[in-house]
Structure formats: C-alpha cells, structure tokens
C-alpha cells in the first residue's frame, strides 16, 4: 500500500514538473540589422504555436503574389436588351469576387449606379457566391458566433459580422439597443435588460426566424447609465442572405422595386457583364489585416492564391507555404493563414527570416512595414509600450489561450535598428502574464542597445 501511494505521489510530482516545464517554453531572437548578427537568442529553432504572428507569413505572400490582383463584385444581366425601358425583367446576378472590404457604403454606391441607368424595377436578383467552394476554413471548423470566426464567402458584406450597440442615458429614462450599421434585416430583441451604475455587460445571441427576410438578435444583460456605447460583435452564418435583403431595402429607398425571392444561383455563361465594383488594392487589405489582426481578411485573401475555378482555403494556405519554401524559407506546420489554429508550428528563426526579407523588398517592403502596428500609436500596439517613445516598436502581435507572441522591429534608445521574434507557449490561460514578460524584455533590449 505504501509503495502504491509513493507511486501515485511520484506520478503527480512528475505531472506538476512537466506542467512547469511546459509553462517555461519560450523562444526569442534579437538581431542587429546593421550587421545581421544575433544579439540575444533563446531556443530560436524550436517549433512553437505562433498565433497571429502567422499573419506575417501570410502578408508577405499576399503582397508578393497578389499585388496586381484585381478583385471586383460584378453585376450581370441576361442581355443588353434586358436593361431597356427602365426594367431588368430577365434577372440580375450579383457575382461575388471575394472582396473582404465590401461594406454598406459600397452597397449604397452600387444602388446609385443602378439608379443612374434609370432602372425602376428588377425581376429576380440572384446571388452568385460560387467563386469559393466553402464558407468555413479549417481554422474555424466549429461554427462560432464570435466575430473572429466569421465565415468566408465570395460575396461577403460588412465583414460577415454585425455589431450590437447599447447605451442608456444618465437618468435611465432613455435606452438604445440596435445593430450597427442598422438594418431592417436584423430584429433586435431585448431580453432581461437592466440599467445601473455598473459597467455594461451584454450577452448577444443570433437566432434564425421563420421569416427568411430577417434574423433575430437576442440581447440580455446590463447597460451602464450615462456610460459609453457598449458594442458586441457577432458573426453572420448566411452573409449572402443579409446582402440580398439589405440590397432590396436600399433599392426600395431609391424607388427601385424588386420582385422574386432570395435565390443563390450561378450566373449563366451566356449572361453579360453590366458593371462592376472594384475592391481596394491588396496592399490596403493587408494594411487593415495587420494593423488590427483581422482574421476575416486574412482567410479571404488566402483563397485568392488558389488558381482553381472554385477556390479552396486549404489550397490557398498551401500556396503560402510553398511560396516561402521556394524562396529558401522552410516552415514547420502551417495550416491556418490567420494563425487561429494551434496546429501552426513555426520557429522564431523561421519567422524572423521572412520578416526581414519582407521589409527589405524594394517593390512592396514599404507597404509591409507600414502595415505593422506602431507602439503607443495604432492598431494592436496602441496601448502597449507606453513607457517607450511612441513608435519605438513596430510589430505584429499574437495571442491564443496559453500563447503570446510578438515579431517586428525596435528603434533602440541608441538609434540602432533591431529585428526580433518572441514566442511563449504554456498550459492554461497564461497569455496575459506572458505578455508582461515579453514587454519587459522588449523594453530591456530598447534601453540596452
């Protein structure tokens, strides 16, 4: 019996030691950019979960391979004759081109263009989302209502997510709860709401309705009286349906009637292009993707790397890996362009090599550098490194449960330029403690070199 208890105790002790060792899994590289010599290193070649600094790998590929890519949303009709007499009576197809930045403002421009042609009525609007073969990436295999898990779709709209805003007056007499941007497609249903002096805290759930033309948003919780607007973001499972009904509503506001029901249908090969809405350049998309660590833009752009007629997420991500390996930059496991998957495994040396190569590229290096958040100024570093001069650190952040990472450049106190990569992996929710450790190390290097 004593031997049995000793064995259990020893096993438990080994388990605790293994957790401690795992918690100390760290890696970093600091390299002087004038000599390209390493200043400080720790486990630079071990493969670790990088989280969102994976976007450095993706951004580099996008800027190099998609810099001349033209992404557009196309409107097609059956024939030029179908536009006569102010009517489109043989169908209008909205063909999604995979624009991740298509928003309500673009929709209003689209409606204004239709009105410019003198169109007064449309018989049947069809949604063509066939450019992509799936809405869901492997990294978001489990459907979640969190906005970071928004579906990818060839015809995306407002980031395929919705913001719910809540506000109450100081005297508690006025309360506002609505979708942002507001849309008749969303039916906001307050449930068990209270107003108090405490900070706002909302629970938001999206629920399909019997009517196909709307989506219920159930909101519960508390709103702070006289406090700031509280926003909660949720992903939309059927972005094409939202696109369609918002379009119909905006057309009605422009006195253009629409008959028929919501239908997804590929545009016939015989259909004719009427006009198109061109997306901003890929460099602008990468800027937004990197500054705010936007998973949606990252995953959308990965599909554009696939050259097949029906673009596939996994093939797009594979293109990223193959691109870097063809340039002599071997990677570990890379299955998620955005870094949402813990299956991504990279070393600090691998990340640093691609980071420096990207910044030095004479064609798109400036765009790459500009996309990196600046400490104390913008993006995901706006509220970090406030003890250093603003902009002293330009870097991409990363965080998952048990993971913290950071890679970029430091302009040190002595005026030297240093490239770096840091990663920590551990069990449980250690990422916030690890961030403090990373920030202290960056500050130390800033002052030392």
**What is the SS3 string spanning 246-266?**
HHHHHHHHCCCEEECCCEECC
What would the mean pLDDT of 411-429 be, rounded to a whole number? Answer: 93
pLDDT at site 140? 54
What would the mean pLDDT of 272-286 be, rounded to a whole number? Answer: 97
pLDDT at site 215? 92
pLDDT-above-90 percentage for the chain? 81
Specify the DSSP class assigned to residue 272. E
Distance CA 385, CA 21 (A): 28
Distance CA 73, CA 96 (A): 5
Q: Using one digit for the tens of pLDDT, what is the confidence trace for 328-354?
A: 999 999 999 999 999 999 999 999 999
Which CATH class name applies to 26-68+282-448? alpha beta
Whether the pLDDT of residue 47 is over 80: the answer is yes
pTM above 0.85, yes or no: yes
pLDDT at site 137? 60
CB burial of 425-438 (b: ≥16 within 10 Å; e: otherwise) equals bbeeebbeebbeeb
Q: Higher model confidence: residue 256 or residue 21?
A: 256
Q: What are phi and psi of 148, to 5 degrees?
A: -65, -15
Contact 224, 198 (CB under 8 A): yes
**C-alpha 170, offset from chain centre:** 35
Q: Which pair of tokens denotes residue 132?
A: 């992509």
Whether the pLDDT of residue 18 is over 70: the answer is no
Whether the pLDDT of residue 226 is over 70: the answer is yes
pLDDT-above-70 percentage for the chain? 91
Which strand (E) or helix (H) includes residue 38?
Answer: strand 38-42
Task: Domain ranges for the chain, please list them.
Answer: 26-68+282-448, 72-278
Query: Which residues, at least 6 apart from 395, have a Cβ–Cβ distance to it below 8 Å?
Result: 372, 373, 375, 381, 406, 407, 408, 409, 420
pLDDT at site 11? 47
pLDDT at site 7? 45
Positive or negative CA dihedral for 111, 117, 118, 122?
negative
pLDDT at site 427? 82
Please, what is the average pLDDT of the chain?
Answer: 91
Q: Using one digit for the tens of pLDDT, what is the confidence trace for 100-141?
A: 999 999 999 999 999 999 999 999 999 999 999 876 665 555
Q: Using one digit for the tens of pLDDT, what is the confidence trace for 301-329?
A: 999 999 998 999 999 999 999 999 999 99
Alpha helices in 231-312, H assignment, sequence order: 239-253, 282-291, 295-303
């Amino acid at each position: 019996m004593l031997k049995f208890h000793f064995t259990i105790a020893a096993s438990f002790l080994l388990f605790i030691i293994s957790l401690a060792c795992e918690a100390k899994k760290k890696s970093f590289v600091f390299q002087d950019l004038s000599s390209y010599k390493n200043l400080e290193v720790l486990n630079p070649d071990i493969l670790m979960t990088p989280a969102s600094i994976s976007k450095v790998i993706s951004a580099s590929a996008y800027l190099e391979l998609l810099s001349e890519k033209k992404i557009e949303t196309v409107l097609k009709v059956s024939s030029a004759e179908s536009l006569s007499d102010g009517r489109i009576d043989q169908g209008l197809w909205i063909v999604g081109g995979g624009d991740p930045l298509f928003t309500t403002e673009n929709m209003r421009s689209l409606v204004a263009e239709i009105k410019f042609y003198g169109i007064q009525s449309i018989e049947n609007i069809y949604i063509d989302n066939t450019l992509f073969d799936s809405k869901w990436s492997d990294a978001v295999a489990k459907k979640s209502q969190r906005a970071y898990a928004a579906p990818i779709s060839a015809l995306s709209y407002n980031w395929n997510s919705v913001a719910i805003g809540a506000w109450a007056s100081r005297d508690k007499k006025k309360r506002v709860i609505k979708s942002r941007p507001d849309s008749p497609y969303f039916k906001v249903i307050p449930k068990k709401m209270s107003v108090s002096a405490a900070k706002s805290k909302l629970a938001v759930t999206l629920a399909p309705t019997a009517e196909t033309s709307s989506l219920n948003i159930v909101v519960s919780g508390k709103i702070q009286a006289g406090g700031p607007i509280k926003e909660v973001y949720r992903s939309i499972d059927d972005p094409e349906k939202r696109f369609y009904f918002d379009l119909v509503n905006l057309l009605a506001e422009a006195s253009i009637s629409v008959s028929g029901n919501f239908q997804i249908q590929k545009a016939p090969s015989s259909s004719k292009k009427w006009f198109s809405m061109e997306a901003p350049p890929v460099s602008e998309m990468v800027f937004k993707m990197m500054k705010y660590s936007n998973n949606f833009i990252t995953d959308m752009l990965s599909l554009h790397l696939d050259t097949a007629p029906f673009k596939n997420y996994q093939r797009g991500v594979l293109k990223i890996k193959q691109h870097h390996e063809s340039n002599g930059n071997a990677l570990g496991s890379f299955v998620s362009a955005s870094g949402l998957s813990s299956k991504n495994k990279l070393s600090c040396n691998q990340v640093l090599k691609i980071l420096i190569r990207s910044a030095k590229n004479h064609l798109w290096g400036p765009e790459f550098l500009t996309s990196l958040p600046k400490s104390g100024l913008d993006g995901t570093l706006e509220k970090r490194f406030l003890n250093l001069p603003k902009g002293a650190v330009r870097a991409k952040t990363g965080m998952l449960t048990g993971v913290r990472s950071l890679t970029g450049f430091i302009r040190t106190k002595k005026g030297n330029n240093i490239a770096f990569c840091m990663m920590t992996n551990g069990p449980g929710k250690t990422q916030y403690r690890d961030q403090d450790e990373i920030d202290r190390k960056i500050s130390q290097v800033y002052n030392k070199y």
